[in-house]
Amino acid sequence: MLEKNFIKAVEKAVGPERCAQEPETLEFYGADASRCQGNAELVVFPDTTQQISAIAALCNRHRVPLTVRGAGTGYTGGAVPSQGGIVVAMERFSRILEIDEVNLLAIVEPNVVTGELQQAVESKGLFYPPDPASLNRCAIGGNIAECAGGPRAFKYGTTKRYVLGLEAVLATGEIIQTGGKTVKNVVGYDLTQTLVGSEGTLAIVTKAILRLIPLPPCRETIQATFRDINDAVQAMIELVKARVIPSALEVIDLESLEAVAVYLDDRTLAPAGTAAMLLLEVDGLAETVREEAARVEEACRRTGAETVRRAADPENRDELWRVRRELSPALKVIAGLKLNHDVVVPKSRVPDLFKVVEQLRTDFELTIACFGHVGDGNIHVNIMVDPDDSSAVTRAADAELKLFKEVVRLEGVISGEHGIGLAKRPFMRLGLSSVELALMGRLKKAFDPNGILNPGKIFPDPSQEDSATN
């Protein structure tokens, strides 16, 4: 319970009109898309970096937990105030401050919606490639916190590749500037990249300098269906061997296709006999795109594609991508509980990962839907469960642990773009040694000596060591 004097001090620092304690507000800002519910005690809506600095200094002095929340689209509970305290809502940090067409960069506040930034820079012939599925709802700050990716990561990489510099507030209230407007920078340790993917546990990002590239002038979209998911995966492998790097390469399995077809009551989105679908895009100069699109079609047909369709126009492109866009709401409808895991394996081990999933379906008698960015080995494994079926929930937990162990065995990692948060912290020891975890702990201590920033995230609870890894 926050002391009244502390709350008054916060109100004095930022203004009482920027503070909220209504039950419905606390409930809303105490959760995110993971459906985890925390216990926010005070929500603050700051306008300036200086106000955030004042809040952090107060929290640090009084040992009050501080959790930053942006758009709330995360799937691992990273923005959930699991230990109470203050939630800093970044809603008012939503401005694109500058688009620099000469230096190819944008300066933005953290609550700028990713899709809106993309539209703004594309109107100037520039391109910001990171494209998480929630790009029309998620914010840049959250993307930075989780090092978000998306379908374009195969060709263009994830968020970290595009962050040149940051303004951030430390737990003590001190304000730092990392990186800058230059692409090359080897002055001291790379604090910028240290903060990217740190899930709000090291500092509070209040401004970002993002690298842009020229907008590719031409793009082609191709959809291919297969009777066997292994054939679809083989098409990806054939493309890599042929040195064709699509700007997007997505796979959707039978369970996912069936969910979309039922959800939209449209069998044309999942034709009978289809076991997998590939969605591919190539971009660049027109001549190159035409050649690569032809090679993509050839590779798909050579590996057994039943149908191959190329988008004729932007409207048709949207139609081809409709299945992928509707996946998330469709899966939420068919099961009350969805354990969504963004595991990653080397591209060459993707066929092995699908074998693992098939074995999990059999061994644990579960519905598991898979889709994702097959081009970079990032597959979203969705274990679908009725939350009222205690036996199924138990089996799902066992399948979850088995999945993570097998992913590590396949030289992969347990999270590619969703972060660790609350959901995956019990499994951190599967992929990291005690030495590595201890080093991360010392880094956390250096940035946040009193442990107030987003406590209870990433680092595993010592009491869970045996149950989570055995």
Q: What are phi and psi of 54, to 5 degrees?
A: -65, -40
Overall average pLDDT of the 288-299 stretch: 95
pLDDT per residue over 367-410, tens digit each? 999 999 999 999 999 999 999 999 999 999 999 999 999 999 99
What SS3 state is found at 163?
strand
237 and 346 share a domain? Answer: no
Quick check: is 124 in a domain? yes
At residue 319 the predicted structure's pLDDT band, cuts being 50, 70 and 90, is confident
203 and 243 share a domain? Answer: no
User: What's the CATH number where 271 sits?
Assistant: 3.30.70.3450
* Mean pLDDT estimate for the chain: 94
pLDDT at 354 over 90: yes
Beta bridge partners of 307: 225
Is the Cα dihedral 240, 118, 30, 83 positive or negative? Answer: positive
pLDDT given at position 192: 98
What SS3 state is found at 167?
strand
pLDDT at 306 over 60: yes
**Which of these, 374, 396, 373, 376, lies nearest to 386 by C-alpha position?**
396
pLDDT given at position 266: 84
Listed as own residue / partner, the contacts of 462-469 with beta carbons closer than 8 Å and 24 or more positions apart are 464/426, 465/429, 467/426, 468/401, 468/426, 468/427, 468/429, 468/430, 469/427, 469/429, 469/430
pLDDT at 466 over 80: no
Q: Apex CA 443: angle with CA 437 and CA 447, to 5°?
A: 145
434 and 333 share a domain? Answer: no
Q: What are phi and psi of 336, to 5 degrees?
A: -70, -25
Choice between 442 and 263, residue whose per-residue pLDDT is larger = 442
Tell me the pTM. Answer: 0.94
Q: Give the least confident one: 100-109, 115-124, 131-140, 213-222.
A: 131-140
Quick check: is 414 in a domain? no
At residue 277 the predicted structure's pLDDT band, cuts being 50, 70 and 90, is very high
Domain-terminating residue out of 89, 108, 131: 89
**Which CA distances in Å does 333 have to 35, 36, 256, 328?**
15, 18, 12, 9
Enter the tokens of residue 79: 């923005």
**Which of these, 227, 247, 348, lies nearest to 293 by C-alpha position?**
247
User: What's the CATH number where 197 sits?
Assistant: 3.30.465.10
User: What's the CATH number where 25 sits?
Assistant: 3.30.43.10
Overall average pLDDT of the 288-302 stretch: 95
Domain-terminating residue out of 162, 195, 214: 214
Quick check: is 419 in a domain? no
19 and 70 share a domain? Answer: yes
240 and 299 share a domain? Answer: yes
pLDDT given at position 5: 96
446 and 340 share a domain? Answer: no
**Which CA distances in Å does 331 have to 133, 255, 264, 324, 393?**
14, 9, 11, 11, 17
Quick check: is 415 in a domain? no
pLDDT given at position 137: 92
105-108 and 204-211 strand pairing? antiparallel
233 and 316 share a domain? Answer: yes
pLDDT at 265 over 90: no
Q: Which helix (H) or strand (E) holds 408?
A: helix 390-409
At residue 333 the predicted structure's pLDDT band, cuts being 50, 70 and 90, is confident
Quick check: is 417 in a domain? no
Domain-terminating residue out of 322, 342, 375: 322
Under DSSP, the state recorded for 440 is H
Q: Number of structural domains, the chain? A: 5
Is the Cα dihedral 191, 196, 197, 201 positive or negative? Answer: positive
Rounded distance between C-alpha atoms, residue 25 and residue 23, angstroms: 5
pLDDT at 440 over 90: yes
248 and 231 share a domain? Answer: yes
What SS3 state is found at 191?
helix
Helix segments in 147-251, DSSP class H: 153-156, 191-195, 229-241
Overall average pLDDT of the 122-139 stretch: 94
Beta bridge partners of 176: 168
**Which of these, 302, 304, 296, 301, lies nearest to 275 by C-alpha position?**
304
100 and 184 share a domain? Answer: yes
Overall average pLDDT of the 194-201 stretch: 98
pLDDT given at position 223: 94
pLDDT at 146 over 90: yes
Quick check: is 350 in a domain? yes
Quick check: is 402 in a domain? yes
Rounded distance between C-alpha atoms, residue 181 and residue 106, angstroms: 9
pLDDT at 228 over 70: yes
pLDDT at 268 over 80: no
pLDDT per residue over 198-222, tens digit each? 999 999 999 999 999 999 999 999 9
pLDDT given at position 468: 58
What percent of the chain is predicted at pLDDT more than 90?
84
At residue 267 the predicted structure's pLDDT band, cuts being 50, 70 and 90, is confident
Quick check: is 243 in a domain? yes
User: What's the CATH number where 362 sits?
Assistant: 3.30.70.2740
Overall average pLDDT of the 165-170 stretch: 98
pLDDT at 444 over 80: yes
Place of tokens 């989780």: 146
11 and 54 share a domain? Answer: yes
Overall average pLDDT of the 36-65 stretch: 97
Under DSSP, the state recorded for 19 is E
Rounded distance between C-alpha atoms, residue 451 and residue 213, angstroms: 38
172 and 233 share a domain? Answer: no
Domain hosting 201: range is 96-214
pLDDT given at position 463: 66
Overall average pLDDT of the 252-257 stretch: 93
What are the start-end ranges of the E strands in 285-410?
307-310, 337-344, 367-373, 378-385
pLDDT given at position 338: 87
195 and 233 share a domain? Answer: no
